[in-house]
Structure 1
Amino acid sequence: MSALNIGSRALTANLSALQVIGHNIANVNTEGYSRQNVTMQVSGYQQYANGFFGKGVEVGTVTRSHDAYLTREAQTTRSVASADAVRLARLEQLEAAFPMGEDGIGESLNSMLNAWADVASSPSNQTARLVVIARADELAARLRDTAGQLDILRESTQLQVKGTVDNVNRLAADLAKVNQRLTEVMGSPNTPNDLLDQRDQILSELSKHVQVSSIPGEGGVVSVFVGGSMPLVLGSQSAKLEAGRDPADSSRLQISFVQGGVKTPLADGNLGGELGGLMNFLHNDLAQVSNMVGRMALATVSVVNTQHELGLDLKGLPGGEFFTALTLPSGVQTSGVSGLTASVGVSDPSQLMASDYELRYDGTNYTAVRLSDGTVSAPAAAVPVSFDGLSFNLSGPATAGDVFRFKPFENAAREIKIAITSPDSVAAASPVKVSPEPGNSGGISIESLYANGPPGGASYGTTEVVFAADGSYSIEVGGTPVLTGQTYKPGEPIEYDGWSLTLRGVPADNDTFTVTPAGPNDIRQNAGNAVGFQALRDAAMFEGVPFGDGYVNIFSDVGTRVQSAQFSSAFSGQVAATAENARANVAGVNLDEEAARMLQFQQSYQAAAKFLQVAQSTFDSLLQTVGR
């Protein structure tokens, strides 16, 4: 009977090995599957008078090819790669909203400024004036359209964030169920390989959506933490994440950890995975670019309206609003108890920075904080506080600890629109004119004169620019010098009392130019303010960038972000692929290897069957012999 038992055990063991090999081959393309192996062991022995005889072979257990370190590394690198990949995809969509060439905002801005050249050439030409209005309206439409595209991108990204949060919650619940099943088989001497593969695959999927840290427990049960230390899965219990509105800023999403009805906000930097990449895009990339577009719209409205209001229209009336004035959003109190109304206005459009702000009061001083980089204004004992070309104010005295958040550029691009409709209302004329004295040498010519600010008094007065023999000049009012020894450079503006005069050529001693208020008969042929609009093109505006090149500043920022994201995504993707390949080299199924093992155990099975056949034949012969 011993030989028959050895043969039957060998058949059973080799058949089990072939079944495992078949299982491996069937799951060669199953994601997360780990190759399984049969461990054979001796069935024991039996002692006889003439020695110890073995009792054959049996299956010890079925193990899986698995390296915990490589698996964790693959999960971690996948989280980083997923964050970079989803951010890159969103940035490429953002880049599409900022075309160059004729379809770009920059082309519209410069077309509007260039249209003033035709007005300067023919101030009374109604068609030229209509073109200025049309070009300005086109610029406003382009800015509104861009803001609309950014809003659509923001909304779709927020929906993707909520979908990702739902996936995280679903996977957390699935992992808790797997932990429960692992607990139920914890007393078994063998390893539930397929269940452990399912656990690891869920962890891998979780790592794609959010960065997790896992702590293994007894019997293969694993606990998972997110956001640094929040227990998403503990044994068979799972918590949830929630995507809701930030209480301090309803336009922002906030990811919270929810357990037992208590919500704990999670910092964007602690999320990782697709969720972290999406939140980074929303709150950094998209927010910054939106602020840049809003800043451009707000600066455009401010400088164009200011220049237009300095001029005179065809009726001799002061220019009104060219664009409809923008109302900046009120500040929102995020800390403290005072309940004050917070407001912000533009004090210097050339100093605007693309950022959100906070106004803080510590009980003694007020400070404004640029949230994009943390820069803080000089302390002020009272409001308003001027910082970055903005003026922050409160309706009353604050209480220590009060904090107010401002988003001055949030609605600017959405709300910009033309205010002027009649060509007669285009203020192309300057309120001042210049006349050379009859006795001038004629070696110097007038290039332009326009108002660049309000006069120091109630109105513009009569002023004389008088040159000396050394080429310097003095400015006289009523024959009395108010500025002397000023250096003259051809083509460089001479500015005084709200006007800018540009001369060219070489002056002679006592050459004089008189600046006086423009009379009613000068309006139709006076194009000074139109020249002033042309000068805006080169005015330093966006962190020193000329006003006419402001769009290039936005486009280059978006391009830099895309280029950086492409590098990060390619690098982290390669690292993740390398880590996954290393894991797969240990745990993956190799068909050539499985074919060789299948042949090996097939031959062993056939040999065991032959041995069993021989044992059976011998036993039958023995029975026949004894039976006689």
Structure 2
Amino acid sequence: MSSFNLLSIGTQALQSNTSALSVVGQNIANVNTPGYSMQRPDLVSREGLGGVQVRDVQRMANELLTSQIMSDTSAYNSALAFEQLASQLDNMLASDVSSVSKAMDDYFGALQGAVDDPSNLANRELFLAQTDALVRRFQDLDASLARQGDTINGQIQNSVAQVNSIAQSLAQINDQVRLATASGASTNELLDERDRLMESLAGYIGFTSVPQANGEMSIFVGNGEPLVVGNSANQLVMVQDSMDASQRNIALQVGSNVGDITGQISGGQIGGLLEYRTDVLYQTQDEMGRLAMVFASSMNAQQLQGLDLDGNAGQRLFADINDSLLSASRVLADSGNASSVTSRVDIVDAGALKASAYELVFNTDSSFTLTRLSDGVRWNSNQLTSAADATGVDANQEFYFDAASGSLTLQVDGFRLDLDSSERFLKGDKFEIQPTRSGASDFGLELSSGRGLALADSAGGVSNNRNALAMSDLQFATLVDGSTYQDQYGRQLEHVGSLTATAQITTQSSKAVLDANQQTKSSISGVNLDEEAAKLVQFQQAYQASARLISVSQTIFDSLLAVV
């Protein structure tokens, strides 16, 4: 081997070990940088005894593990958002200061005082005061549930803003990666930053990612809706639900097209919030509404059978659940046909009500499908019994439909729906029916004086307590889905408690899995200072030896010249 080759090898070695020392220095400098992946120089021998070269600087990252961590992050944040809200609701239902069950205990306790001495006006006024307290308890609980809905809307809005910001950053990094890849420059730091942003994105919303040949990463949400493609980022936007003005949905804006993707979203904080809103919040509002409506209906029915302290026929104790304004508010029409339709839902059998909303969709201008949203049970119009006219609709699963005039009357699950359109119904017309959703907020006290309590029956004089006893016995009647008032409240409390406990377990297990995978990733990609110190010594000694090799080659060359 000539001294020239020896000089070349030494020079190559010197340059390669200088590069290797730079990589070690980069690792040490970024030991505390979030998301930084350790790098290693890939040293390879040059062919034909040509020395060594750095072929590449490898980024020590496991793509499968990184993808799993994103999935785990999405699952954990979804479970956490759900669990936090469920815990709030569980405490709300169980606490004595907000529990409807406790207020019912006080109500029936005061009623017992009126039973013991029905002519005592003080006992009557005390019972009326406890009745008012029960009404306020229902209303306060409903208001708290509504505030949870507002909180969810606010949290979703904040999360949407974060998603849009991250998506824009990812689009910019895509462009930088594409340019760096095309020019042959290193993309390691850019890929680290992209992974960090994607992990952050997973905390807000579930997504799928598809790597491209040019180094870019495409991000899709929902059922394959494009959030980030190349250097372009589409925007999530908050939109008002087409039927329920109080509900905020999520849409993806692609150019001038805005499409609602609320039902497609899962994972991340947004997914957890949406799941809680649909499966717990709305269900609890429906259940509390049904309980209030059954309570008001049954108590009113008994009150109307008695005589008050002045010998007059009893008047309603609670507000009429079929007040015209309340009945009209129970149907929500799609914004496209809301102005042309008048509607109402009347409760014909409170005991048959289900704690659910319903969706009515016209399949054609002469057929429709009704779906009970709580369990997915559906009825097509050809599965229901058709009546000769609207007045003939008086039994469960009966209907009358005049397609020409745009008139529909339908009875199912204890309520009667009446829809009248100024035009024919068209395919795609959609309505949401909420028989019980506002029942708790609509629960109201109508009687203003204890003298008006109809505690006596109609044959035994105004001082007897027979009707009061009948009202008191309603405490033990199975009027709500086969349960008493308080047992049904207890069932709902147990249901929410079970959901909360499950959510807590899910959150803990998701966190444990996430932590374990992050520790595994850290062992692969994280910078170990002890290891870097050893590498620093290793490459420093190799650098010094390379320099010595150059010195030896120079000495040999000088010796050869002296001989000549």
Q: Same fold (TM over 0.5)?
A: yes
Q: 1:222 to 1:388 in 2, by over 3 A?
A: same
Does the CA-based 8 Å contact 1:366-1:379 persist in structure 2? no
State the 1:91 CA deviation.
1.4
Inter-partner Cα distance in structure 2 for 1:353 and 1:399: 27
Name the residue aligned to 1:523: 462
* TM-score normalised by the chain length of structure 2: 0.86
Which residue identity lines up with residue 146 of structure 1 in the other structure? Answer: L
After the TM superposition, which of the residue ranges 553-562 and 598-607 deviates more from structure 2?
A: 598-607
Letter in 1 for 2:487: D
C-alpha distance in 2, partners of 1:367/1:528?
A: 47
Query: Is 1:541 the equivalent of 2:479?
Result: yes
Aligned partner of 2:508 in structure 1 is 570
Out of 409, 412, 427, the residue aligned to residue 387 of structure 1 is 412
Q: 1:342 — aligned with what?
A: 343
- Cα distance in 1, alignment partners of residues 253 and 385 from structure 2: 41
Question: CA, structure 1 residues 17+334, in 2 after alignment: closer, same or farther (shift >3 Å)?
Answer: same
Whole-angstrom distance in 2 between the partners of 1:396 and 1:234:
44
1:617–1:127 distance in 2 versus 1, CA, 3 Å? farther
8 Å contact kept, 1:196–1:220: no
Cα distance between partner residues in 2 of 1:200 and 1:127:
71
Task: State the 1:27 CA deviation.
Answer: 2.2
Q: Show the counterpart of 1:146.
A: 141
Change (3 A) 1:8 1:358: closer
Q: In the alignment, is the contact (CA less than 8 A) between 2:170 and 2:228 conserved in 1?
A: yes
User: In the TM superposition, what is the alpha-carbon distance from 1:8 to its structure 2 partner?
Assistant: 4.3
The equivalent of 1:295 in structure 2 is 290
- Do the aligned residues in 2 keep the contact of 1:356 with 1:372 (CA within 8 Å)? yes
Secondary structure of the 1:321 match is coil
AA in 1 matched with 2:444: K
Select which of 221, 230, 234 maps to 1:226: 221
> Which AA in structure 1 matches 2:376?
G
What's the offset of the Cα at 1:374?
2.2
How far, CA to CA, are the matches of 2:78 and 2:277 in structure 1? 13
- Alpha-carbon deviations, 1:562-590, whole Å to 9, x = none? 12212332333333334434433332223
Partner residue in 2 for 1:135:
130
d(CA) in 2 for partners of 1:9 and 1:210?
A: 49
1:467 is matched with none
Which structure dedicates a bigger proportion of its chain to helix?
Answer: 2
CA contact (8 A) 2:92 2:98 kept: no
State the distance in 1 between where 2:207 and 2:20 align: 37
For residue 341 of structure 2, give the secondary structure of its aligned residue in structure 1: coil
Asked if structure 2 preserves the Cα contact closer than 8 Å seen for 1:428 and 1:530, the reply is: yes
Question: How many residues get paired?
Answer: 529
5 Å-filtered alignment, 1:329-478, equals 329-334=329-334, 339-359=340-360, 368-376=370-378, 379-381=384-386, 382=400, 384-395=409-420, 399=425, 401=427, 402-431=429-458
**Contact 1:368–1:385 (8 Å) recurs in 2:** no
* Root mean square deviation, CA, Å: 2.7
Counting aligned pairs with the same residue, the percent is 31
Answer yes or no: is the 8 Å Cα contact 1:224–1:234 preserved in 2: yes
Which segment drifts farther, 102-111 or 157-166? 102-111
User: Are 2:218 and 1:207 equivalent residues in the alignment?
Assistant: no
Task: Write out per-residue CA displacement over residues 489-518 of structure 1, whole angstroms, 9 at most, x where no aligned residue.
Answer: xxxxxxxxxxxxxxxxxxxxxxxxxxxx34
* Pair 1:347–1:424, CA change in 2 (3 A): same
- Report the CA distance between 1:191 and its aligned residue: 3.5
1:259 positional shift: 0.7
Q: Name the SS for the 1:219 alignment partner.
A: coil
1:23-43 deviation line (CA, Å, top 9, x unaligned): 222323333221101122335
Residue pair 1:359, 1:403 contacting (<8 A) in 2 also: yes
- Amino acid paired to 1:14: N
Computing the radius of gyration over CA atoms, which structure comes out larger, 1 or 2? Answer: 1
**Quick one: which amino acid aligns to residue 117 of structure 1?**
Q
Higher relative contact order (CA 8 A, sep 6+): 2
Distance in 1 of aligned mates of 2:186 and 2:142: 57
Describe the superposition over 1:371-428 as per-residue Cα deviations: whole angstroms up to 9, x where unpaired. Answer: 2112246614215432222222234796464543222233332233322222211111
Unaligned runs of 5+ in 2: 387-399, 401-407
Residue pair 1:365, 1:380 contacting (<8 A) in 2 also: no
Q: Is the 8 A contact 1:330 1:344 kept in 2?
A: yes
Show the 5 A alignment for 1:50-129: 54-101=49-96, 103-129=98-124
CA distance in 1, matches of 2:385, 2:494: 36
| 1:317 match | 312
Correspondent of 1:25 among 25, 28, 45: 28
String of CA shifts for 1:451-493, please: whole Å, max 9, x gaps.
Answer: xxxxxxxxxxxxxxxxxxxxxxxxxxxxxxxxxxxxxxxxxxx
Q: Using a 3 Å threshold, how does the CA distance of structure 1 residues 71 and 103 change in structure 2: closer, same or farther?
A: closer
- Aligned AA for 2:157? K
Contact 2:9-2:50 at 8 Å conserved across structures: yes
- The yes-or-no answer on 1:599 pairing with 2:559 is no
Deviation digits for residues 271-317 of structure 1 (CA, Å, limit 9, x no counterpart):
32222111111222111111112222222222222222221110011
1:239 corresponding residue in structure 2 = 234
Amino acid at match of 1:589: V
Change in 2 beyond 3 A, CA 1:102/1:161: closer
Which deviates further from its counterpart, 540-549 or 383-392? 383-392
Contact 1:309 / 1:318 at 8 angstroms: preserved in 2? yes
Map of 1:504 onto structure 2: none
Structure 2 Cα separation of the partners of residues 539 and 8 of structure 1? 96
The residue type paired with residue 358 of structure 1 is: E
Equivalent-residue separation in structure 2 for 1:189 and 1:65 (angstroms): 19
Deviations 1:528-557 (A, max 9, x none): 111011111111122111123232122112
Q: 1:359, CA displacement in angstroms?
A: 4.2
Q: Is the 8 A contact 1:214 1:222 kept in 2?
A: yes
SS of 2:293's equivalent? Answer: helix
The 1-side partners of 2:496 and 2:489 are apart by 11
SS of 2:139's partner is helix
Q: Greater share of strand residues, 1 or 2?
A: 1
